[in-house]
Amino acid sequence: MKSARSTGIGLVLVGLSLWQLPLNAADDDGTNLPFTQAQATQGKLAYEENCASCHGFELEGFGLVPSLSGSYFADRWGDVTLDLLALDVRRMPPSKENSLSQSSYIDILAYVLMRNGLAAGQNSLPENQTSLSALTIPAEQLSQQRIAAANPLIYSTDGPLKVSSRAQSLSLVSDAMLQNPSADDWLIWRRTGNNLGHSPLDQITRDNVDKLQLAWSWALPSGANMMAPIVHDGVLFAYSFGDVLQAFDAATGELLWGFQRQLDDDTPPDSKKGVAIYADKIIMPTSDMHLIAIDARTGKMAWDHKVDTGGEDGHWFKSAPMIANGKAIIGLTGRQAVEGGDFILAVDMETGAEVWRFYTIARPDAPGGDTWNGLPLDQRTGGSVWIPGSFDAELNLVYFGPAPTYDTERLRQGPNDSYRNNDALYTNSTVALDADTGELAWHYQHARNDQLDHDWAYERQIIELPVNGSMRKVVVTGGKLAIFEALDAATGEYLFSIDLDMQNVVAEIDPTTGNKSLFPTAIPALDDVLSEFSLPGICPDWLGARNMQSTAYNPATRTLYIPLSDTCLDDETDQRWQKYPDSSADGSYGIIKAVNLESKEVVWSQRQTGPQAAANLTTATGLLFIGSVDRWFKALDQDTGQVLWERRLDNALNSYPITYRVDGKQYVAVATNSGGIHTRTMRNAAGINLPPSGATLWVFALPD
């Protein structure tokens, strides 16, 4: 069985406006696959109607959706019989497999082939699976060219567009500054190394936020711009889809310099969550698996480190780097079932040399290696790191959350002997690593042997919190099930869980260990075929009650603000439904919950007009900024959830809002875009119309 992470073809094809269909019919001499121009033309229409809403009209791919062009398509499908590709095509659209006519699927298949360089001919592509099994996709004829023209090279790397005093006067960013940043700056993905998503700025308040207005905006490259901008000394750095890094005057929106990574023709660009800053350098993860350092003042490249992935080409960078003790630390994500799984690595910020790496899939002879039911290393997959880590300088530990495995069937079998188990470390775990060496200090597995893709892969927040009458430094994190857990930051000791009752998977949690007992309906049988990452009737569905929309925590009130999706899968119709239907907001799926971590009680819960797509952001003045799939950017009262200000923007808010101050004035910034796979799927579920492309950086402030 393939996991739903790696099945489904992910129809990512280059748009007609960027690559013209070959109109000359090929000679049917037996060397080309039989399909006609008419089939491919009809296939384009069927693709745009049924597939593009998830996979993109500009065919850039989103999140888990891989590219089906260039070397990736050639490596996966070259010399494979056509019936296997046809079976994957029939899995579309999501949750409605085999819902189109046979001729529509065949037309889409013809369109896929044409997009990859095969020429149309006089004979039609057959609809019969037996006939398709006799045809082989010719690897030598597949186009190895990929027009990355969704974002053609638009900037030189020769330096700034013009001399900018703002950029030239940037101060060096030190470890001390990162650990205790100026209130004016936003230096890290979630502002501070403890990933709270909270700002101490106090100019914009509950009393005046209704006067918030546009200060400036900038059109970004089209694609899933899931960025968190960073700001230092009045310069804003935005990292966009297509590997485009731009520096702006954060007060005026003036472009100071731009840098775009020149990718090989067969490297599809992907979306990442941002960059990091240290000393005078911006550290930038690229789509071709390099970490490069850019001079923050000029935009010139300082060094370039190619990450050694062991010859595997199935890795992505999807997160943003974090900085700890002069090292940039980042995890890799598998865009497919990479043999041996993924890893976390650190590079020296001065030289770009790799310092250490930690494998998130335990090696057979290493600690935790006996938790894979005897599987050899090349059959162990997963452990992707989607989210930036957190860092505690006092403990000198960095914290990450590896995702589940890609292939689960073997792990359904009981252990072969008493010396092995099938927990599958370090999936769905919190791992605490020594920041200097990468050695494992401790780990805690939140969900053993996860069969349903219920990741615990999201932010780890480091919080000072009273627990049973004593102040403890804890790591708080929650998975897709909307169960949040607290661990001792120094030792990994389990402290407590808070179940927000958005799930029907976990029946009981041991209050001493956190071990979870599952409902029988949530345990797949050995011969079960999992559909859409899940079993029927499960809450939440594969999207999760929470996903990459990060929480925000106000340390003054000890309240965690959690963006949620109320979404389940029906066991007969395969349609989504709500666990807690609300007639006043039917089909919205979006919920915000405020949870006091000291009392473990829900303070308030508010249904939203649309599914939440952006991270939450809190300020010291009691404001909570949120963003949703239906294009609304809002400021809520932290105490009540009341909407105090809202503005409808041009596209979905599938990103991480920030706030900063320049010359005494506070700004709030957020990026919009066409969204990743989560946003696009929730858009379809909620019946929300969005533009097929387009992305913008929006910046708001109070009037002078």
Look at the chain and count its residues: 704
CA distance 42 to 38: 6
| Amino acid found at 626 | I
CA 86 → CA 107, 108, 337, 548, distances in Å? 10, 9, 20, 32
Q: Across residues 568-589, what is the average pLDDT?
A: 66
**Which of 499-503, 678-682, 694-698 shows the lowest mean pLDDT across its residues?**
678-682
Is cis: bond before 155, omega within 30 of 0?
Answer: no
Q: Each residue of 477-492: b (16+ CB within 10 Å) or e?
A: bbbbbbbbbbbbbbeb
Residue 553, exposed/middle/buried by CB under 10 A (0-12, 13-18, 19+)? Answer: buried
> What is the residue type of 82?
L
Q: What residues pair up with 623 in beta bridges, in sequence order?
A: 637
Q: pLDDT at residue 4 above 50?
A: no
Confidence band, pLDDT 50/70/90 cuts, at residue 145 = very low
% residues pLDDT > 90 (the chain) = 57
Helix axis angle for 102-115 and 37-50, nearest 10°, is 100
pLDDT, residue 559, reads 98
Q: For 324-356, how does the pLDDT look when each residue is reduced to its tens digit (9 = 90+)? A: 999 999 999 987 778 899 999 999 999 999 999
Q: pLDDT per residue over 148-202, tens digit each? A: 333 444 555 455 556 678 888 999 999 999 999 999 999 999 999 999 999 999 9
What pLDDT digit, counting tens, does each position of 251-290 carry?
999 999 999 998 887 788 888 999 999 999 999 999 999 9
Answer whether residue 95 shows pLDDT above 90.
no
Q: Which residues pair with 319 in a beta bridge?
A: none
**If you search the block for the tokens 């006799």, which residue do you land on?**
134
Helix (H) or strand (E) holding 355: strand 354-359
Q: What is the rounded average pLDDT of the residues 685-695?
A: 84
- Token pair belonging to 462: 């480091």
Three-state secondary structure call for residue 84: helix
Residue 2 C-beta-side C-alpha neighbours within 13 Å: 12
pLDDT at position 533 over 60? no
State the average pLDDT for the chain.
86
Q: Give 430 or 590, the one with higher predicted confidence.
A: 430
Q: How far does Cα 652 stand from its chain's mean position?
A: 15
Q: Which of 435, 257, 431, 288 is nearest to 349 (CA)?
A: 435
Q: Which of 5-9, 202-206, 465-469 shows the lowest mean pLDDT across its residues?
A: 5-9
Identify any residues that bridge with 488 across adjacent strands, giving them in sequence order: 474
43-79 per-position pLDDT tens digit = 888 887 777 666 655 555 554 555 565 566 777 788 8
Across 28-42, 338-352, 600-614, least confident range: 28-42
pLDDT of residue 64: 54
Give the distance from CA 516 to its chain's centroid.
Answer: 26
Taken in order of first residue, the domains within the chain and their CATH numbers are 37-141 (1.10.760.10), 165-701 (2.140.10.10)
Q: What does the pLDDT read at residue 9?
A: 31
Q: Which of 66-80, 382-396, 606-620, 688-702 has the lowest mean pLDDT?
A: 66-80
For 97-130, give one letter per residue: b (16+ CB within 10 A) or e: beebeeebbbbbbbbbbbbbbbbbbeeebbeeee
Whether the CB-CB separation of 315 and 309 falls below 8 Å is answered with yes
pTM higher than the cut 0.75: yes
pLDDT greater than 80 at residue 97: no
Spatial CA neighbour of 63 closest among 502, 384, 539? 384
Q: What is the pLDDT of residue 111?
A: 87
Q: What percent of the chain has pLDDT over 70?
A: 85
Residue with tokens 């029988």: 520
C-alpha triplet 198, 612, 216: angle, nearest 5°: 65
> Which of 284-298, 514-528, 545-559, 626-640 shows the lowest per-residue confidence on average (mean pLDDT)?
514-528
DSSP secondary structure code for residue 29 in this structure: S
Nearest to 646 by CA among 658, 656, 632, 659: 632
Please say if the pLDDT value at position 141 is more than 90.
no
Determine the pLDDT at residue 147: 36
